[in-house]
Every structure is written in structure tokens, then in C-alpha cells.
Amino acid sequence: MKQYYLTEELAFEITNALTQDELFTALSAAAERLGFDHFALAYDRRGGSTPASLLVHDYPAAWAQVYVDFDLGGADPVRRAGERSMTGFEWRSLPDLIPLTKGDRQMLEVGRENGIADGFTVPRHLPGEASGACSFVIGPNSRMQEEVLHVAEIVGAVALSAARRLVGVAPPKGRPTLSERQRECVLWTARGKTASEVGAILGISEETVIQHLKTARDRYDVHCRQMLILCALFDGLIGFADIYDWWHDH
């Protein structure tokens, strides 16, 4: 019952943050009350003509400087793992979510040397619209308190919702439209089939398949099938499950 009231109180404070500074203050207090040493929240809004982002953290200055100077965001294994998890996860579980490279392990070690020893990250992703994560972190001399992780998960999710509200939702933009046959050609191409194989599956000629794919690329204003597939996925024209489930079954 004590944790229920703690969750409610922390969520209320974060929900009522009206500015980035207020969100920082609320998250700083939440991290401390949950037994963490640091926190970091990053939210990136994509889409439309006005992408935007929000970053609040109280990481040690030395680590923050290294992270920025070496542009480590794109290689961050925690970020990649967040794209593979539907729930919050401890950093010790990273190898269960993604393959860790030598560079990943070096990056995590440098983090430890700069006061970032372990953490718990709550990810949220809307393909094509936004990506974000809220992390609560301990230093080398602290211990992760397992009993508060479910509270941290709720608080992190509430914080990301608050960040989305502060950044704003991207204005809707017109999306290209494809015919049903064009969509089918894109789907089977995403499944790894050649134009000839797609034609045999759909009962049309290889030339017709090639023309359908060209029309689809023109409508998306892209020049290769890989980008066409990505655009179709992010727009929801085809689904990740449409590709993965078929591939897994074959």
C-alpha cells in the first residue's frame, strides 16, 4: 500500500509539470525517492515539417560531456535495447535483448568509470512519430532496489507522456496512397521475394510488378526498394508482423 501511494504521488507531480524545468525537478525528486542516483529522459518527435526533441537529465557532467563529444547516442546499446522491449528493463538484461558488440561493452565500461554503473530504462516508441526513454540510474557504490522497479516503470511511462505533451504532437501530413496491388507488391518485396517471384505469387507479369514498385517509389519520392519498405512500414501500410511472422514460419 505504501508503494501505491508513492506511485500516485510521484505520478501526480510529474503529470503536473508544465515546463521542462518543472519536469526536471519532478524527475529528480522521483529518482531520489526511489533510491536512484541519477535520471535521464529523452524524447524525439519525428514526422511533419517540425521535428522536436526534449532532453532532461542529471548525469555526471563528465559522462554527459563524453556522450556529447563522441556522439554516442546513435551507438547507445540501451537505446537499441529499448526498441526491442515492450516493458522497462534493467541494464544487466541488455545481452538478452540485443547482441552486445565490443564497442557496446567499452561504452558501458566508460559509463561506469564516470558514475553510471547500472540502470532501469522505460522505453516508448511510436514508429514514424516518436521515440523516447526514461532511465533511472545508480552509481558504482549503490544497489538497485528491485522492489521499486514496478514503481519506476509507471513513473517513467508517465514522464514520457508528460514529455510528449510538452513537445507537442506532430501536425498531420498527407501520406502517399497506394493501390491494393501496389501494396501487395511492396509486402512481398519486403518478405524478400524478387519481382519474378512476386509476379508468380500474385498471378501477374514480372514487368507489371516492376511498374507497381516504381509507381510506389515515385509516390513516396524514394529511389530504392529498401527506403520504400521503410516508408510503408512507418506509415502502417504494411506491418512488421506481416514480414516477421511470415519469415519466421518459413
Q: How far is CA 212 from CA 25, 68, 194, 200, in A?
A: 53, 44, 13, 14
Does one domain contain both 86 and 154? Answer: yes
Q: Which three cell numbers stand for residue 238?
A: 504494411
Are 210 and 217 in contact, with CB atoms under 8 Å apart? no
State which residues form the domain around 104.
2-167
Which of 167, 189, 205 is the last residue before a domain boundary? 167
Are 120 and 147 in contact, with CB atoms under 8 Å apart? no
Tell me the Ramachandran region of residue 198: left when phi exceeds 0, alpha when psi lies from -120 to 50, beta otherwise.
alpha
Residue 72 has pLDDT above 70, yes or no: yes
Residue 4 has pLDDT above 90, yes or no: no
Does one domain contain both 47 and 133? Answer: yes
DSSP code per residue over 124-155? EEETTTEEEEEEEEE-TT----GGGHHHHHHH
Rounded to an integer, what distance in angstroms lies between the CA atom of residue 151 and that of residue 182?
46
Residue 246 has pLDDT above 90, yes or no: no
56-65, 89-98, 138-147, 167-176: range with lowest mean pLDDT: 167-176
Query: pLDDT by residue (tens digit) across 90-113?
Result: 999 999 999 999 999 999 999 999
What is the CATH classification number for the domain harbouring 51? 3.30.450.80
Evaluated on CA atoms 123, 126, 128, 129, the torsion sign reads negative
Confidence band, pLDDT 50/70/90 cuts, at residue 150: very high
Does one domain contain both 152 and 219? Answer: no
Rounded to an integer, what distance in angstroms lies between the CA atom of residue 149 and that of residue 167?
26
pLDDT, average across residues 127-146: 92
Residue 78 has pLDDT above 80, yes or no: yes
Contacts (Cβ under 8 Å, ≥6 apart) of 202: 181, 184, 185, 188, 209
Nearest one of 32, 27, 57 to 42, comparing CA atoms: 57
DSSP state of 117: -
- Determine, yes or no, domain membership for 174: no
Rounded to an integer, what distance in angstroms lies between the CA atom of residue 13 and that of residue 29?
9
Rounded to an integer, what distance in angstroms lies between the CA atom of residue 121 and that of residue 90?
7
Number of domains in the chain: 2
Sheet holding 52-57, edge to edge: 52-57, 38-45, 130-138, 118-126, 89-90
- Determine, yes or no, domain membership for 113: yes
pTM over 0.85: no
Does one domain contain both 144 and 192? Answer: no
